[in-house]
Amino acid sequence: MTEKTETKDETVATSRRRFLTGSLAAGGAAMAAGLATAGPAAAQGESVITEIQDWNRYLGDGVVSQPYGVPSRYEANVVRRDVEWLTASRESSVSFTPLHELDGIITPNGLCFERHHAGIAEIEPSQHRLMINGLVDTPLVFTMQDLMRFPRENHVYFLECAANSGMEWRGAQLNGCQYTHGMVHCVVYTGVKLKHLLGEAGVKTNAKWILPEGADSAAMTRSIPLEKALDDCLVAFKMNGEALRPEQGYPVRLVVPGWEGNMWVKWLRRLEVGDQPWHQREETSKYTDLLANGKARRFTWVMDVKSVITSPSPQAPIRHGRGRAVISGLAWSGNGKIKRVDVSIDGGRNWTTARLDGPSLDKALHRFYLDIDWDGSELLLQSRAIDEAGFVQPTKNELRAARGENSIYHNNGIQTWYVKADGTVENVEVS
Amino acid sequence: MLKSPSAALLLGAALLVAGPALAAGDAGKGERVYKKCAACHQVGEGAKNRVGPELNDLIGRTAGSVDGFKYSKAMTEAGAGGLVWDETTLDAYLESPRTAIKGTRMAFPGIKEADDRADVIAYLATFSKQAAAPAPAETKTAEATPAPAPTAAVPAADAAVPTHGVFHLGRAATADEIAAWDIDVRPDGVGLPEGRGTAADGEVLFTERCASCHGDFGEGAGRWPVLAGGRDTLKADRPEKTIGSYWPYLSTVYDYVRRAMPFGDARSLSDDEVYAITAYLLYLNDVVTDDSFELSRENFTSVKLPNEENFIADDRSAEPHYAGKVEPCMKDCKAEVKITMRARVLDVTPEAGKENEGTTKVD
């Protein structure tokens, strides 16, 4: 009995080792061997079908082999990436969501892009406080436990950095929608309405603005009009059902639906109420949009209507040859829902309305598909979104004509992917 | 290790504080601590000098001796005086850099926990051919303290319920608590603390605390922000947006330096020091021309930045492509389509990008 068990253990260990050191090579060898020794019993067809595979014979890992589950190791390439030359340090930098590998409208927590201004603050929830002060009747301090005793709500919202696609103002530069459009994510938030917290302190009648502040060493601050704060802002402590990730502001962050990501202050520790904006660093020297005439727009909060084809795209070429192909992409708007997405395969000469699929939610990502028969010829793929307010996604040239090339922020121009006959894809711009 | 009296003097005070026995570090944990250093220092294969010198073969290295790195006078002199980096000298330096070597350009505040210092030194030693001498096998003094037992819940009926608001949640903030966190400053001067400082005082502080990233004259090192110059470039092809050329309000400078600078050592400057640094930034930007200029709470709002008038409200919805909300064209929308621009940067695209290399690099 013991002997038998040991033998089996050894076999399992061996097979697992083989599994780990490259099942492709092993599978190929097995197939070759199968063909070479084709005897009367040899089956015709793919060895993955005709031969019993390890996972079909032996036991796999038991429960809790991963107490917190992780993706299959065959998905190891589905990760956030950064562009090292963009920033001086990784503590004040950005990483990008791998949009080309994802589907549906929800971004997994570990893949949500990051933008920190002083690294990831690590805060024990029992040590965290949220203060409300300024033009209120009673300045208050809340613990995390206090916050969780307010009535809770769940909402799906996209969060886009104002600088998403910012490197593309001067023309096609980065080869992959992860880099050109990956500063966006969309999750379901659980939290409490900001208006409940402000109401608890009692907002004075002359109040017009709030100033949220982070607890990290950047002490991030932004001025937000009181009207927005009382409308749909949330103070959120969960994303996709679990606690916020540290890099997304654990234990609590502000949610400012449809508005630029910089305002969604992470590690939220204070809300000041005032009668004027504060003109903080992130709303003067940054997150203002310089125009060609030397003027700069400020308080450009709403994220405009935008879309991008996520597959095919430079990091997700067509590998299957001609025939049926799925064009898939994302659309979103800070003005509300997406009404329609059109797709062009000829660089914008002709358009076909794509199919929106899955939930269509206010200020959330929308998924679209266009199913085509690809004849193997070159394509110039574009997508163009229209939101429920009637705004149509502009071309990049239209944006440049209105703003010049130095705005950095709010580049929502139509993206073009050049699909070549071999299925590879490149970021280009067209006339 | 300290071969001359002058170097001994420089490090003397700090070494005394360092204590008699150094704990053996854990290189694995040290890798995590090292993240604090990585903003400025590279280590490992291919490490180059960045804001700080590269740290390969640090153990056994004479202070201030890496080729091609511009050290402070103080660091060069410490090396000339015989200071060699080893477990002991690094420990003292990392505990409080500016105390150990007065005048060092390293703006880093230091690592408070002895264990963290030991760990990061152990980590750095893994990149040194001459590894640190093995420390006596002592157990670390500060083991992680166990989490406090949860406090007993107050019997629900006995808990006091506040009277404010609708839900009666939270408690009143004290005046001291509000003062500790409410440090924001507005353009009209609301929020400015008592205090003052001259541009000349600011220059000394700036050189010590800011110049390692921002350059001696605010010109910016590497990709760190440029703070001065750039006047009249906003309409140029490559605008340079600085305090003098772009920022609308001086209050933003005071507020931001006070809340978030120096990078990695926030809230370490006194209110007077922030006034002095702000005054020096005005001087670097030619907004004031006399380095004896003193900025204070009293005269603060009299200073205007040149670009204040050039900020306008958000008028995106009036742009031609938005204004009409016109139903877009669907068929034969243009006569011909030509590729006008192709992706210029490839090396940032891992995996799939490698396959594309050579075909897509067109400029």
Q: Would you say residue B338 lies in a domain?
A: no
Which CATH number does the domain housing residue B214 bear? 1.10.760.10
Segment (H or E) for A328: strand A323-332
A241/A155 same-domain check: yes
Q: Give contacts of B 217-236 with A, CB under 8 A.
A: 222-224, 234-235
SS3 B9: helix
B48/B119 same-domain check: yes
B109/B201 same-domain check: no
Distance from CA of B308 to the nearest CA of A (A): 10
| Residue B291 backbone dihedrals phi, psi, to 5 degrees | -75, -5
pLDDT of residue B4: 45
Q: Which of A150, A213, A317 sits opposite B169 (nearest CB)?
A: A150
The tally of domains found in chain B comes to 2
| pLDDT band at A180; cut points 50, 70, 90 | very high
A244/A208 same-domain check: yes
A222-263 tens-digit pLDDT:
999 999 999 999 999 999 999 999 999 999 999 999 999 999
Cα first-last separation, chain B: 55
Give the mean model confidence (pLDDT) for residues A398-423.
Answer: 98
Q: Give contacts of B 155-184 with A, CB under 8 A.
A: 164-167, 169-173, 177-178, 181-182, 184
The complex scores an ipTM of 0.89
Distance from CA of B243 to the nearest CA of A (A): 8
Distance from CA of B5 to the nearest CA of A (A): 38
Q: Would you say residue B18 lies in a domain?
A: yes
Q: Would you say residue A35 lies in a domain?
A: no
SS3 A235: strand
d(CA A259, CA A303): 5
Q: Would you say residue B69 lies in a domain?
A: yes
B254-271 tens-digit pLDDT:
999 999 999 999 999 999
- Give chain A's mean pLDDT: 92
Q: Would you say residue A69 lies in a domain?
A: no
For residue A411, what are the CA distances in angstroms to A157, A289, A308, A309, B329?
20, 10, 12, 16, 22
A283/A310 same-domain check: no
* Interface touch B328/A384, C-beta < 8 Å: yes
**CB-based contact, B35 to chain A, within 8 Å:** yes
pLDDT of residue A254: 98
Which CATH number does the domain housing residue A343 bear? 2.60.40.650
Token pair belonging to A413: 């121009």
| Residue A159 backbone dihedrals phi, psi, to 5 degrees | -125, 120
A113/A253 same-domain check: yes
A175/A133 same-domain check: yes
Judge whether residue A6 has pLDDT over 50.
Answer: no
| pLDDT band at A22; cut points 50, 70, 90 | very low
B191/B266 same-domain check: yes
Token pair belonging to B68: 């091609």
Q: Would you say residue A387 lies in a domain?
A: yes
Q: Please tell me the number of Cα atoms within 13 Å of B277 on its side-chain side.
A: 27
Q: Would you say residue A275 lies in a domain?
A: yes
**CB-based contact, A138 to chain B, within 8 Å:** yes
Closest residue in A to B36 (Cα–Cα) = A91
pLDDT of residue B156: 75
pLDDT of residue A23: 42
User: Do A201 and A138 meet the contact criterion of CB atoms below 8 Å apart?
Assistant: yes
pLDDT of residue A295: 98
**CB-based contact, A179 to chain B, within 8 Å:** yes
Which CATH number does the domain housing residue A205 bear? 3.90.420.10
SS3 A391: coil
Q: Would you say residue A37 lies in a domain?
A: no
B188/B118 same-domain check: no
pLDDT of residue A171: 92
For residue A196, what are the CA distances in angstroms to A151, A192, A212, A231, A273?
9, 7, 15, 11, 14
| Alpha helices (H) along A144-288 | 144-147, 177-181, 194-201, 226-231
Closest residue in B to A346 (Cα–Cα) = B337
**CB-based contact, A146 to chain B, within 8 Å:** yes
Q: Which residues pair with A338 in a beta bridge?
A: A387
Q: Would you say residue B138 lies in a domain?
A: no
Q: Which of B178, B248, B316 sits opposite A279 (nearest CB)?
A: B248
A361/A273 same-domain check: no
Q: Would you say residue B245 lies in a domain?
A: yes
d(CA A270, CA A385): 37
* Interface touch A138/B182, C-beta < 8 Å: no
Token pair belonging to B120: 């990061």
A156/A254 same-domain check: yes
A199/A267 same-domain check: yes
A221/A319 same-domain check: no
User: Do A119 and B165 meet the contact criterion of CB atoms below 8 Å apart?
Assistant: no
Which of the listed residues A257, A287, A317 is the one where a domain comes to its end?
A287
A281-332 tens-digit pLDDT:
999 999 999 999 999 999 999 999 999 999 999 999 999 999 999 999 999 9
Q: Would you say residue B131 lies in a domain?
A: no
B166-215 tens-digit pLDDT:
999 999 999 999 999 999 999 999 999 999 999 999 999 999 999 999 99
Q: Would you say residue A43 lies in a domain?
A: no
Q: Would you say residue B320 lies in a domain?
A: no
Q: Would you say residue A174 lies in a domain?
A: yes
pLDDT under 70 in chain B at which residues? 1-23, 131-154, 344-363
Q: What is the signed CA dihedral for B88, B90, B92, B94, rounded to 10 degrees?
A: -150
Q: Give contacts of B 276-315 with A, CB under 8 A.
A: 310-315
A373-406 tens-digit pLDDT:
999 999 999 999 999 999 999 999 999 999 999 9
d(CA A216, CA A121): 5
**Which residues constitute the domain of residue B227?**
181-310
Judge whether residue A32 has pLDDT over 90.
Answer: no
The tally of domains found in chain A comes to 2
Judge whether residue A24 has pLDDT over 50.
Answer: no
A122-172 tens-digit pLDDT:
999 999 999 999 999 999 999 999 999 999 999 999 999 999 999 999 999
Q: Which of A77, A146, A175 sits opposite B169 (nearest CB)?
A: A146
pLDDT of residue A74: 97
Q: Would you say residue B211 lies in a domain?
A: yes
B288/B215 same-domain check: yes
A261/A124 same-domain check: yes
**Which residues constitute the domain of residue A334?**
306-428
Which of the listed residues B125, B140, B159 is the one where a domain comes to its end?
B125
pLDDT of residue A7: 40
| Residue B22 backbone dihedrals phi, psi, to 5 degrees | -95, 140
B188/B277 same-domain check: yes
A263/A390 same-domain check: no
A133/A270 same-domain check: yes
Q: Would you say residue A416 lies in a domain?
A: yes
A223 contact residues in B (CB cutoff 8 A): none
Closest C-alpha among B240, B243, B38 to residue A93: B38
Which of the listed residues B267, B293, B310 is the one where a domain comes to its end?
B310
